[in-house]
């Protein structure tokens, strides 16, 4: 059935014309009808005989209600009878209602009696739609009833939602099992219920003026999903949609900004300690090969580079301008950048929205829009793009090249990224500060990194998303190609409050972020360390070809903890087939345990580790290995590390690649072994059974979301 948009438009126009902000129940019913959302059957009758006939056609029980413009309090007037169970009762109920109405108000105009199908049985659920400041229209689903209200067991998706989205919502609530039929009750009709969710989501997507919609309850039974009550709230006040440049424009600007042929430093300085001096030094010492143009009102040269009073005096083209001048001078210099057709301005200065100077920031946004300059910041540390040896920042130079692109909304978190990256030798392609996000934000970065051959994983810290919908739409596409990891700070109400005082951004309802991230295939980090460890480990691991994980451990105790961690991180321990069990047993002592974990026991020589790992890599049924090492004199840590890399390399030479992670239990020498393994593509951790499994879990989560596990 086609959705009858014209009909809905007509109803909404009438509501608007009447100056109302919500629909009446009959209007709501008509809207539902237009979008194929099933509601209970009903009709108005004018006689007992008609009531008898209509009720019988719907099936019993029915509820009957007086219809009269003069009787507002129907129940008080004796004008409502519920639970009418037969045709005979229906006729009698008609007469009773009319008599009661007359008795209540003799001169009341009586239009008739409404007969309505009474729904019961099945599972009561709620389907709704809300409008979020960042994500726009969202469709919501939960079980009905007060208990679920107490447990806040509800799930959201961006509207419009696909059938798959809707089906994932049915599985996305804690009490999902209720829909599958428990204690002998029938399972609900999943297609009917998903269809209803899809239609609701389409309706609010088609008509943005519908700000809230509630179907509560919806009776979901084994063969239908019927909305017993409809509530629709509208808001006709037009909201300007957020400015969103075309993706091709975003990309061409971002390419110039991130990989500039020439960079201007506005406020460049020869004086040590000045931000404009640090930026110049970082550009020079970082090894940037393009042109560097210091901009200074009076100086002829700075740190050996010819200086210019204005960007407009520079002879050649400029791609990126780094600002290192006080806030009050930024607008004028930005205008000059615009006139010079510079692609992007890196606005290090603070003193804008974060200190309450919203107008000053808006002025910059206006200039940027007018001249088509993209703005990074203000209130940032700048950015690094290592493939271009570019350190456009006042922080220290950074030089460990790699494939992780990171960004942070906060400067402090940016510094933590830099420190961790250097300490853990996590190679990065970029580190970008987004600060106040007056213009460039997470989705602009996603668009650039999506096609950046130097980037394999994208990890972002944010406190809010200025345009959650844009982010989700882009992330949904990008995450199919490259893992996108997000640490959303301000998860809790206390955190959100802290975020709002910090950046002026009121963090949204966390459950919405949670669900939309899932819908978009984004891996959500729960902590700063998780963000960093995922960014470091996920690109190192090859993509698994299937869900079967096997643990091979020298320490039985590690095997137990690794198994727990597998469950926590949604990894599947493969049930060990008999032939493979027998094959593993050949390599391990009789008191070792095959099965999964494979417990080779503690006293074994290096060759036992190697044999079992080779077997695990060779067998097609196994898709990933988790290793538990136990430090002994027989197999010292570095011997273990080398032999594992050897085994991996032998198999790689034969074209076999599987993710391997390792947990190392032992004395301090295991730290060196863990580092060696990590540097050789095997994420490994000393004294932790959780971290290696978390990293593998993140890789799996990505691969599943991207549809790579079949």
Residues 344-363 within binding reach of a copy of itself (CB under 8 A): 351, 354-356
Under the binding rule (CB under 8 A), the answer on residue 661 touching a copy of itself is: no
Map residue 167 onto helix, strand or coil: helix
| Residue of 381, 426, 391 lying closest to 287 (CA atoms) | 391
Chain-centre distance for alpha carbon 268: 39
* Window contacting a copy of itself (CB under 8 A); options: 64-72, 81-89, 493-501, 613-621: 493-501
Q: Tell me if 612 contacts a copy of itself by CB under 8 A.
A: no
If one asks whether residue 582 binds a copy of itself (CB under 8 A), the answer comes out as no
Residue 616 found at the interface with a copy of itself (CB under 8 A) = no
**Exposed/middle/buried for residue 480 (C-beta within 10 Å: 0-12, 13-18, 19+):** middle
The CB-of-4 to a copy of itself minimum distance in angstroms stands at 36
Instruction: State the helix-helix crossing angle for 606-618 and 578-585, rounded to 10 degrees.
Output: 160
Segment lying near a copy of itself (by CB under 8 A), choices 87-95, 334-342, 366-374, 593-601? 593-601
628 binds a copy of itself, rule: CB under 8 A: yes
Under rule CB under 8 A, residue 441 binds a copy of itself: no
Bridge partners for 244 per DSSP? none
Residue 117 in tokens: 């199908």
At its nearest, how many Å lie between a copy of itself and the CB of residue 431? 12
Structure tokens at 558: 């590690």
Check binding of 578 to a copy of itself (CB under 8 A).
no
What does the alpha-carbon distance between residue 89 and residue 444 come to, in Å, rounded to a whole number? Answer: 66
Single out the residue of 415, 638, 639, 709 in contact with a copy of itself (rule: CB under 8 A). Answer: 415
Q: In residues, how long is the chain?
A: 710
- Residue 433 backbone dihedrals phi, psi, to 5 degrees: -95, 130
Tokens of 417: 């990224």
CA distance 231 to 326: 53
d(CA 706, CA 544): 12
Applying CB under 8 A, among 358, 607, 621, 687 the residue interacting with a copy of itself is: 687
Give the nearer residue to a copy of itself in terms of CB position, either 38 or 408: 408
Kindly report the three-state secondary structure assignment for every residue of 531-587. Answer: HHHHHHHCCCCCCCCCCEEEEEECCHHHHHHHHHHHHHCCCEECCCCHHHHHHHHCC
Q: What number of chain residues touch a copy of itself (CB under 8 A)?
A: 97
Nearest-angstrom CA–CA distance, 658 and 622: 9
Angle at 431 between CA 351 and CA 384, to 5 degrees: 85
Does 200 interact with a copy of itself (rule: CB under 8 A)?
no
**Sites for a copy of itself among residues 36-55 (CB under 8 A):** none
- Judged by CB under 8 A, does residue 566 bind a copy of itself? yes
Q: Using the rule CB under 8 A, is 585 a contact of a copy of itself?
A: no
Which residue stretch of 22-30, 99-107, 302-310, 420-428 sits at the interface with a copy of itself (rule: CB under 8 A)? Answer: 420-428
Give the DSSP per-residue string, 26-58. Answer: HHHHHHHHHTT-----EEEESSHHHHHHHHHHH
Bridge partners of 709, per DSSP, are none
Position 182 contacts a copy of itself (CB under 8 A) = yes
Q: Does 177 bind a copy of itself (CB under 8 A)?
A: yes
Contact 211, 131 (CB under 8 A): yes
Among 227, 689, 697, 701, binds a copy of itself (CB under 8 A): 689
Q: Tokens in use for 393?
A: 């920042």
> What span, in angstroms and rounded, lies between the C-alpha atoms of 616 and 200?
49
The stretch among 59-67, 236-244, 482-490, 612-620 that binds a copy of itself (CB under 8 A) is: 482-490
- Tokens representing 229? 């009550």
Pick the binder of a copy of itself from 40, 61, 187, 602 (CB under 8 A). 602
Strands 401-408 and 457-462: parallel
Considering the complex, state which of residue 11 and residue 551 has its C-beta at the smaller distance from a copy of itself. Answer: 551
Closest to a copy of itself by CB, 338 vs 692, is 692
The closest of 292, 287, 295 to 319, measured between CA atoms, is: 292
The residues in 59-98 that bind a copy of itself, with binding defined as CB under 8 A, are none
Nearer to a copy of itself, 416 or 614 (CB): 416
Residues 536-565 that bind a copy of itself (CB under 8 A): 551, 553-565
Rule CB under 8 A: say whether 499 interacts with a copy of itself.
Answer: yes
Measured from the Cβ of residue 77, the count of other Cβ atoms closer than 10 Å reads 20
Which of 568, 570, 582, 586: binder of a copy of itself (CB under 8 A)? 568
* Given 47, 86, 396, 618, the residue binding a copy of itself (CB under 8 A): 396
The nearest distance, CB 530 to a copy of itself, in angstroms, is 8
Site residues for a copy of itself, 280-339, by CB under 8 A, read none
Nearer to a copy of itself, 10 or 527 (CB): 527
Member of 2, 73, 300, 501 binding a copy of itself (CB under 8 A): 501
Largest interatomic CA distance in the chain: 102
- Nearer to a copy of itself by Cβ, of 252 and 423: the residue is 423
What is the spatial distance between Cα 550 and Cα 563, in angstroms, rounded to a whole number?
10
Nearer to a copy of itself, 137 or 488 (CB): 488
Instruction: By CB under 8 A, name the one of 280, 406, 532, 641 that touches a copy of itself.
Output: 532
231 forms bridges with which residues in the sheet? Answer: 214
- Stretch binding a copy of itself (CB under 8 A), from 97-105, 315-323, 418-426, 444-452: 418-426
Min CB(598)–a copy of itself separation in Å:
10
- Based on the shown chain and the rule CB under 8 A, indicate whether residue 516 belongs to the binding site for a copy of itself: no
């Amino acid at each position: 059935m086609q959705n009858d948009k014209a009909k809905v438009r007509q109803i909404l126009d009438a509501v608007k014309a009447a100056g109302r902000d919500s629909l009446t129940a009959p209007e709501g019913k008509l809207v539902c009808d237009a979008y194929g959302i099933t509601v209970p059957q009903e009709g108005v009758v004018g006689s007992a005989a008609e009531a008898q006939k209509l009720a019988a056609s719907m099936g019993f029980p029915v509820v009957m209600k007086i219809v009269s413009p003069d009787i507002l309090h129907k129940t008080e007037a004796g004008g409502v009878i519920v639970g009418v169970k037969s045709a005979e009762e229906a006729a009698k109920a008609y007469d009773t209602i009319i008599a009661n109405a007359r008795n209540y108000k003799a001169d009341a105009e009586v239009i008739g009696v409404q007969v309505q199908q009474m729904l019961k049985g099945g599972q009561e659920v709620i389907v709704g739609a809300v409008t979020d400041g960042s994500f726009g229209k969202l469709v919501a689903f939960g079980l009905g009833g007060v208990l679920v209200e107490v447990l806040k067991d509800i799930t959201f998706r961006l509207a419009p939602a696909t059938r798959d989205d809707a089906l994932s919502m049915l599985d996305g609530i804690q009490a999902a099992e209720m829909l599958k039929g428990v204690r002998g009750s029938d399972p609900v009709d999943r297609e009917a219920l998903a269809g209803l969710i899809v239609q609701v989501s389409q309706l609010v997507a088609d008509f943005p003026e519908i700000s809230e919609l509630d179907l509560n309850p919806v009776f979901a039974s084994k063969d239908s999903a019927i909305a017993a009550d409809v509530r629709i709230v509208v808001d006709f006040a037009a909201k300007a949609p957020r400015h969103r440049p075309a993706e091709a424009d975003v990309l061409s600007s971002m390419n110039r900004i991130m990989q500039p042929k020439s960079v201007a430093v506005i406020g460049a300085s020869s004086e040590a300690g000045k931000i404009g001096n640090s930026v110049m030094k970082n550009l020079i010492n970082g090894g940037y090969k393009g042109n560097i143009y210091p901009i200074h009102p009076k100086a002829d040269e700075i740190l050996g580079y010819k200086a210019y009073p204005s960007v407009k005096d520079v002879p050649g083209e400029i791609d990126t301008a780094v600002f290192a001048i006080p806030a009050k001078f930024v607008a004028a210099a930005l205008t000059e950048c615009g006139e010079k057709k510079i692609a992007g301005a890196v606005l290090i200065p603070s003193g804008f929205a974060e200190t309450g100077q919203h107008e000053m920031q808006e002025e910059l946004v206006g200039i940027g829009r007018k001249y088509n300059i993209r703005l990074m910041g203000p209130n940032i540390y700048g950015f690094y793009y290592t493939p271009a040896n570019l350190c456009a920042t006042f922080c220290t130079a950074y030089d460990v090249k790699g494939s992780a692109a990171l960004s942070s909304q906060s400067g402090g978190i940016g510094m933590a990224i830099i420190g961790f990256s250097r300490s853990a030798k996590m190679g990065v392609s970029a580190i970008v500060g987004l600060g106040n996000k007056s213009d460039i934000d997470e989705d602009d970065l996603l668009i650039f990194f999506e096609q950046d051959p130097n980037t394999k994983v994208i990890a972002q810290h944010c406190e809010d998303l200025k345009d959650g919908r844009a982010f989700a739409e882009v992330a949904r596409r990008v995450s199919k190609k490259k893992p996108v990891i997000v640490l959303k700070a301000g998860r809790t109400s206390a955190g959100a409050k802290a975020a709002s005082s910090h950046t002026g951004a009121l963090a949204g309802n966390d459950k919405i972020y949670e669900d939309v991230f899932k819908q978009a295939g984004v891996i959500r980090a729960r902590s700063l360390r998780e963000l960093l460890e995922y960014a470091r480990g996920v690109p190192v691991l090859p993509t698994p070809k299937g869900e079967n994980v096997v643990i091979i451990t020298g320490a039985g105790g590690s095997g137990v903890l690794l198994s727990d961690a597998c469950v926590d991180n949604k990894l599947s321990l493969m049930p060990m087939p008999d032939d493979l069990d027998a094959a593993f047993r050949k390599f391990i002592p009789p008191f070792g345990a095959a099965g999964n974990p494979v417990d080779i026991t503690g006293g074994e020589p290096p060759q036992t580790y190697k044999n079992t790992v080779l077997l695990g890599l060779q067998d097609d049924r196994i898709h990933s290995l988790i290793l538990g090492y136990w430090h002994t004199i027989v197999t010292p840590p570095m011997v273990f590390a080398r032999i594992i890399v050897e085994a991996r390399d032998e198999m790689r030479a034969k074209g076999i690649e599987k993710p391997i992670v390792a947990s190392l239990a032992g004395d301090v020498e295991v730290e060196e072994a863990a580092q060696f393994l990590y540097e050789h593509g095997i994420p490994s951790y000393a004294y932790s059974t959780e971290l290696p499994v978390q990293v593998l879990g993140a890789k799996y989560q990505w691969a599943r979301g991207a549809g790579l596990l079949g």
